[in-house]
Structure 1
Amino acid sequence: MNFELSPEITAMCEAVTGFAQRDLTGPDSFEPIDFRRRWELAGKQGILGATVPTQYGGSGLDAVAAVALMEALGSGCADTGFAFSAAAHLFACLMPITEFGTEEQCRHWLPRLCSGELVAAHAITEAEAGSDIFNMSARAVRDGDHYVLNGTKVFTTNAPIADVFLVQAVTSPGSGFFGVTAFLIGAATPGLRVGPPYAKIGLRGSPTAEVHFADCRVPADCVLGGEGAGASVFTGSMKWERTCLFGIYLGAMRRVLDSTIVYAGERVQFGSPIGEFQAVSHRIVDMLARLESAALLLNKAAVELSRGGNCEVSAGLAKIAVSEAAVQIGLDAIQLRGALGVTAGDAETLLRDAVPSRIFSGTNEIQKNNVARALGLGRKRR
C-alpha cells in the first residue's frame, strides 16, 4: 500500500501542526471559557468537521487523510485531552449523523457542529454496560409522537460542555442488537441533567461526566437511523473512532520521541551525552520501532475504511498497537529522563494520557475478542 500523502494533504497537516502549537495548547485541566475559545478556533480551521461532506460544512476528507490530520493535531497540541475531545466529537458524533441522519437532521446539526459553534457528546456507556454494551438499562418508551427516556450514562466525553447528545437507549427489551435506538437530544431538553466533571488520571483537558435522564421527552423526529438502529449507529461510530482518533496518539508519541532524542543528545553523564550509551540508544530505537509499527497498522485500517471495506480486524489490531505503544513509549521517555521524567513534562503527560487509550473505544481485551471472533474463534455473541 502507498501511504504517501498528496502535496495538498501534506501542506494541510503542516498548517494544522503549526496552528495547534500556536493556538490550541492550553492548561492541563478543563476550563470552560478557554475550552470554548480554542474549540471555535479549531472549527474555523476545519478540524472539527474534517470528514463531514462539504455540503454540510465539512472538508470531506477520507479516513487516510483524517489519520494524517489527527496525527498533525496530536503532534502540535500538547493538550492531548483537548485533541481527544475534538476527535470524539467528529468521529463518534458527527460521522454517525452523516451516515444515518435524515437530510433535515444533517442540515440542522452538522454545519454548526463543524464550525465549532456547537459541541457534541456520545452517551452510551453505563455503570453496568461498558464492554457488555447491550446490557444497558436506559429505556426509551414511545408516547405518541415522543419518546420518554430514563436512565444514566457514565464516562461521557464532552458532556459538561455539550450542546447536543447522541444517546443510545433500549426501546425493545430482549431484542438485543435490534432493541437499541439512537437519539439526538439538545442539552437544554427538560429531564436531561449533566453531572460534575470527573477528575481523571489523564486527558484532563477533555471534560467527562455522567448524563442523567428523568422522564426526558424527546420528539420522534430526533431518532437517528430509525427505531432499532442504535446498535448500527454505535458500530459505525466505533469504526471511525477506532481508526481515526488514534492518529492523535501517533502525533503525541512522535512529539515526545523527538524531544527524547534531543534530551539524549544534550544530557551528559560520565563525560558523554547519554545517547552514546547503548542502553539509551537501543531503548530509543525500540521506541521508534513501536511507533512506526503502530502507524503502519493504523494507516492500513484507514485505507480499508476509505475503500468501504470491513475494517473490524485491522481497526482492532491498530487500536491495540497504538495504545500499547503509547503507554510503553511514555514509560521509556520517563525512564530515559531519570528523575526529571517524573516531574511535570511531556513524558509524564504522555503516559497519563496514554493509559486511558487502552480502555476507551472498547478495551484492548475486547478488541482481541472482536478480532478472535472475526477469525472464527472465541465465544459467540448471544
Structure 2
Amino acid sequence: MDFDLSVAQRKRFADIGSAVLERFGELPPATRPQLTRPEWKAAADLGLAGLCLPAEYGGQGLGALDTALCLEAFGRSCPDTGLVFALCAHLLACAVPVRDFAGDEVRGTLLSGLASGDLIAANAMTEDDAGSDVGHLATTAQPVDGGYLLDGEKSFASNAPIADLIVTYAVTDRSAGFLGISAFAVPRELDGISVGPPFSKMGLSSCPAARVRFERCFVPRRYLLGEDGGGAAIFQHSMGWERSCLFAGYLGLMDRQLEQCVEHARERRQFGRRIGGFQAVSHRIAGMKQRLEGARLLLYRACWLLDEGREHVEQTALAKVAVSEAAVANSLDAVQIFGGAGYLSPTGIERQLRDSVPAMIFSGTTDIQRELIAREVGL
C-alpha cells in the first residue's frame, strides 16, 4: 500500500497550482458577479475542462485520482470556489457521461468542444418534486420519428445561463421505473428550450444556476446518451465521478484555509502573546488538520477504487460526507480563529463558509449519502 504521490503527480499538482494562482489567485470582490466566458476559457486553456477526457479530443486522458489531484490544486489556488464548482459540474456531471455514453455521430464534436471550453455544459436533473427522489421525474421524452419530444421543467441547473449543452434526464416509459428514464445531451440552440434568470444564492455565487424548461423540444436521436431506459444508470455513473473528484476542490479550499489560519494564529497577538499559543486556538487548528487529512484519505481511496473498476458506492458516499462536513466545520472554526475579521468580506473567510454549506446538499445530500452507507453495510 503506497500512500505517496509519484513525481509526475507532484509536478502536475504544482504546475496547475502555479498557473491557477497566477491567473485566478486574487480574491474576487465580495459582490462577485457571475463568471464570464473569458474567465471560463482561461480555466479551460489550463486544461482543466478536459482533465479526464480522451487525449484524441483535446483532453488529458487522466483517471479519477489524477483528475481529483488536479482539481484539488485548482481549489487550493483559486479563491473563487464558484468557478471551481462550475468547471467541476461541467466536467464530471456532463462531460463524463458524454465521454462514456454518447454515440459516434456526436461524440467527437461534443468532447472536443467540452475539452477546449468552447462548449459549456449544464447538468439538468433536479426538479421541484424530484430532488433526492430522482426516480420520480416529471419531465418526459416522447419517442417520435427521428428523436424525442422533451417536455418539463428542471428546477436547478448549474451553468445553465451560460451553457451551450444541457445534459438532462427524462422519463421515456413511466411503467418501467428505474429502466424508464433516458439521458440526453441537448444543444442549447434547439427550439423549445428556455432558461430562467440566474438564482441568487448563499454561496458559489459566481457559478450561475437557473431553471430550464423544455416545451415540445425536439431532440434528434443522435443526442441520446446510451440506450433508451439507461438514464438512471448513466446518472449514477456520473455521480460516482462527481462525488469523488468534485470534492477534491474542497480539499484544496481547506488546505488553503488551514494555511491562512496558521499564519493568522502566528501573527495575531492578544494578552501579550500569539493567539496560536492558546490551546483554544491551537487545538482548533489541530482539529481542522485532522478533518482535512481524514477526508483526503477517504477521497483518494474512492478515486483509486473508481480507477480500478471496483465497487465504490460506499466509499464515494463516505468520502462525500467526510469532505463536505469537514469543509463546513473547518470554515466555522476559521471564522472563530479570525474573530471579527473572519466575519468581514475582505479576508475571504466568511465566503469559504458560505461556499462550503452547499457541499452538504448537491451531488446527493449528506442524509442520502448516509442512507447509501447504511444500505452498503447491510441495513
Structure 1 residues 69-109: Cα deviation after superposition (integer angstroms, max 9, x where no partner)? 11100000000010001011111111111111122222020
Contact kept in structure 1, 2:85 and 2:207, CA below 8 Å: yes
Residue 210 of structure 2 aligns to which amino acid in structure 1? A
1:380 corresponds to: none
Structure 1 residues 176-197: Cα deviation after superposition (integer angstroms, max 9, x where no partner)? 1100001111111110000001
Tell me the SS of whatever aligns to 1:175.
helix
* 2:13 equivalent to 1:6: no
2:373 corresponds to: 371
1:311 corresponds to: 312
- 1:54-65 mapped onto 2 (5 Å cutoff): 54-65=55-66
* 2:101 equivalent to 1:100: yes
Q: State how far apart, in whole Å, the 1-side matches of 2:175 and 2:129 are.
A: 16
1:144 offset after TM fit, Å?
Answer: 1.1
2:330 corresponds to: 329
Q: Structure 1 residues 143, 44: closer, same or farther in 2, change over 3 A?
A: same
Length, aligned pairs only: 376
Structure 1 residues 233-280: Cα deviation after superposition (integer angstroms, max 9, x where no partner)? 101110000010000000000101100000000000000010011111
1:31 offset after TM fit, Å?
Answer: 4.2
1:260 corresponds to: 261
Q: State how far apart, in whole Å, the 2-side matches of 1:138 and 1:241 are.
A: 23
1:190 corresponds to: 191
Residue 187 of structure 1 aligns to which amino acid in structure 2? R
TM-score calculated relative to the size of structure 2: 0.97
2:356 corresponds to: 354
Q: State how far apart, in whole Å, the 2-side matches of 1:30 and 1:238 are.
A: 29
Residue 95 of structure 1 aligns to which amino acid in structure 2? V
1:24 offset after TM fit, Å?
Answer: 2.8
Structure 1 residues 282-313: Cα deviation after superposition (integer angstroms, max 9, x where no partner)? 11001100000000100110110110111100
Contact kept in structure 2, 1:304 and 1:310, CA below 8 Å: yes
Q: Structure 1 residues 333, 31: closer, same or farther in 2, change over 3 A?
A: closer
Residue 3 of structure 2 aligns to which amino acid in structure 1? F
Displacement over 3 Å in runs of 4+: 25-32
1:228 corresponds to: 229
Q: State how far apart, in whole Å, the 2-side matches of 1:28 and 1:77 are.
A: 15
- 1:264-303 mapped onto 2 (5 Å cutoff): 264-303=265-304
Q: State how far apart, in whole Å, the 1-side matches of 2:251 and 2:317 are.
A: 16
Residue 285 of structure 2 aligns to which amino acid in structure 1? I
1:140 offset after TM fit, Å?
Answer: 0.7
- 1:167-182 mapped onto 2 (5 Å cutoff): 167-182=168-183
Residue 58 of structure 1 aligns to which amino acid in structure 2? G
Q: State how far apart, in whole Å, the 2-side matches of 1:38 and 1:67 are.
A: 21
1:359 offset after TM fit, Å?
Answer: 0.3
Contact kept in structure 1, 2:103 and 2:222, CA below 8 Å: no
Tell me the SS of whatever aligns to 2:15.
helix
Tell me the SS of whatever aligns to 1:96.
helix
1:314 offset after TM fit, Å?
Answer: 0.4
Q: State how far apart, in whole Å, the 2-side matches of 1:21 and 1:207 are.
A: 22
1:27 offset after TM fit, Å?
Answer: 4.6
Q: Structure 1 residues 158, 276: closer, same or farther in 2, change over 3 A?
A: same
Unaligned runs of at least 5 residues, structure 1:
378-382
Unaligned runs of at least 5 residues, structure 2:
none
Residue 20 of structure 2 aligns to which amino acid in structure 1? A
Structure 1 residues 38-66: Cα deviation after superposition (integer angstroms, max 9, x where no partner)? 21122221111001111221101111111
Q: State how far apart, in whole Å, the 2-side matches of 1:2 and 1:211 are.
A: 45
Residue 368 of structure 1 aligns to which amino acid in structure 2? R
Structure 1 residues 189-240: Cα deviation after superposition (integer angstroms, max 9, x where no partner)? 1100000010110111111100001111111111110110101110111000
Tell me the SS of whatever aligns to 2:201.
coil
Structure 1 residues 358-377: Cα deviation after superposition (integer angstroms, max 9, x where no partner)? 00000010001111112221
Q: Structure 1 residues 338, 66: closer, same or farther in 2, change over 3 A?
A: same
